[in-house]
Amino acid sequence: MNSLTNCAISVITPTRNERETIAQLLNKLQRALTGIPAEVIIVDDSDDDTPAVIKQVTKKMRGSLSIRCIHRKPGPERDGGLSSAVCLGLAEAKAEYAAIIDADLQHPPQMLRNLYEEAREHNADIVMATRYKSGGSYEGLDGAGRKFISLGMKWTAKILFPETLKSVSDPLGGFFLIRRSIIDGVELRPIGYKISLEILVRGKWNSIREVPYQFHARAGGQSKSDLKQGIMALQHMWRLLCEAPQAARIWKFLFVGFCGTIINLATFTYLLHIGAAEWFALVIGAELGTLNNFTLHNLITWRDKRSTSLSGLAQNALKFHLSSSMSIIANFLLYALLRHFIAIPIIDNAVAIMLAMIVNYTLADTFVFVDRGAISKMFAAFRGKKVLSEDAPATSLVEAQTAGAQK
């Protein structure tokens, strides 16, 4: 391996039995990255002579490209297959940017330069190569069945994670570039082939760009993808939904709201049944529904932003009641307004309820469950001091205050 000084881009290529295409890929990468200090990390799980071919090609190649092949022996080392191979490559990468590219030339290597330049020009955290934008194509996908599954999976992911993927047209594509710091301290636990989804959902990124590309047919060798990969992609999405607190917040919010409505209605019906006054049944039903929602939002929807101190929790409970009341008022006002335009009460109310839910979500997200640590840090940065979050241990707070006093 050549020595790595000021490496700008680490290219990670997972390989399994790619003896037919790997030489071409390396030569094309060499040409594509001329002038850019780059390293190529091949994480290989082959049973054929792919590693020997890599050795041969690397010996012959001249130029500044540093090429390293990490061969994993059959057995537990290969657990996780493609996705664990990419994670290993990312862990080994040294450059500011890391790019992932398949070895079978379905991803055009010459496009890597475009991805890198796009990232540099726009200071982007992620640049996704996309098959689904004007100028791109997914014609190289093998048969109508695979095209259908690919589109179906893409839309499943976009619907499940709307906040994260709203501006991403090819979230499950395997050809992309990231600023490596967006996965610093992030535990990646992908299942199957969709490592891009893992990084998009768990990574700490702010800006994304897309570059269209044409997905070619395989240049040689065999695809290792089968129906099992589709099932694994769904398992992967479920894992992200359960494990990543910020993922699919809107769906978690709607689920909690649904539970709250059931509790509200059940309490209301029961109290009426035992002869309670109607106003009493209404108030108690609404209160129990609201308390249920607050508790579940703390446990599910905003668990990464909940307060752990008793005072913080009490404050949030109060704010949540306030924001829920405001959304009910918004519901009534919107209903009254809509009645002027559409003369069908059920439609007016359905639209008003939906808009009120948006109000409720926005208030909960921006007013109730706010990341206190982030706000403190913002103010601290403004004042030039180091302040820890309100939930930090007392000793750390003392240290921070002392540090502040010494400035």
Ligand X SMILES: Nc1nc2c(ncn2[C@@H]2O[C@H](COP(=O)(O)OP(=O)(O)O)[C@@H](O)[C@H]2O)c(=O)[nH]1
Compare residues 84 and 229 and give the one whose CB is closer to Mg ion: 229
Out of ligand X, Mg ion, none, which partner does residue 389 contact, by CB within 5 to 8 A per kind? none
Compare residues 18 and 365 and give the one whose CB is closer to ligand X: 18
Cβ neighbours of 184 (radius 10 Å):
9
CB 356 within 8 Å of CB 328: yes
Out of ligand X, Mg ion, none, which partner does residue 110 contact, by CB within 5 to 8 A per kind? none
Out of ligand X, Mg ion, none, which partner does residue 18 contact, by CB within 5 to 8 A per kind? ligand X
Out of ligand X, Mg ion, none, which partner does residue 214 contact, by CB within 5 to 8 A per kind? none
The residues, ordered by sequence, that sit 6+ positions from 150 with a Cβ below 8 Å of its Cβ are 138, 141, 172
CB 14 within 8 Å of CB 92: no
User: Taking the complex as a whole, how short is the minimal distance between the CB of residue 81 and Mg ion, in angstroms?
Assistant: 13
Q: How many residues bind Mg ion (CB under 5 A)?
A: 3
Compare residues 171 and 174 and give the one whose CB is closer to Mg ion: 174
Distances (CA, A) of 198 to 137, 140, 180, 220, 271: 23, 24, 14, 28, 47
Q: Angle at which helices 195-202 and 227-243 pack, to 10 degrees?
A: 10
Binding site for ligand X (CB under 6 A): 14-16, 18, 43-45, 81-82, 85, 102-104, 106, 223-225
User: Taking the complex as a whole, how short is the minimal distance between the CB of residue 291 and ligand X, in angstroms?
Assistant: 48
Compare residues 73 and 407 and give the one whose CB is closer to ligand X: 73
Compare residues 177 and 364 and give the one whose CB is closer to ligand X: 177
Instruction: Tell me if 20 contacts Mg ion by CB under 5 A.
Output: no
User: Taking the complex as a whole, how short is the minimal distance between the CB of residue 164 and ligand X, in angstroms?
Assistant: 22
Out of Mg ion, ligand X, none, which partner does residue 16 contact, by CB within 5 to 8 A per kind? ligand X
Out of ligand X, Mg ion, none, which partner does residue 154 contact, by CB within 5 to 8 A per kind? none
Compare residues 70 and 276 and give the one whose CB is closer to ligand X: 70
Out of Mg ion, ligand X, none, which partner does residue 178 contact, by CB within 5 to 8 A per kind? none
Compare residues 20 and 102 and give the one whose CB is closer to Mg ion: 102
What is the C-alpha separation between 119 and 123, in angstroms, rounded? Answer: 5
User: Taking the complex as a whole, how short is the minimal distance between the CB of residue 224 and ligand X, in angstroms?
Assistant: 4
Binding mask 77-116 for Mg ion (x = CB under 5 A): -------------------------x-x-x----------
- Give me the residues that bind Mg ion (CB under 5 A), please: 102, 104, 106
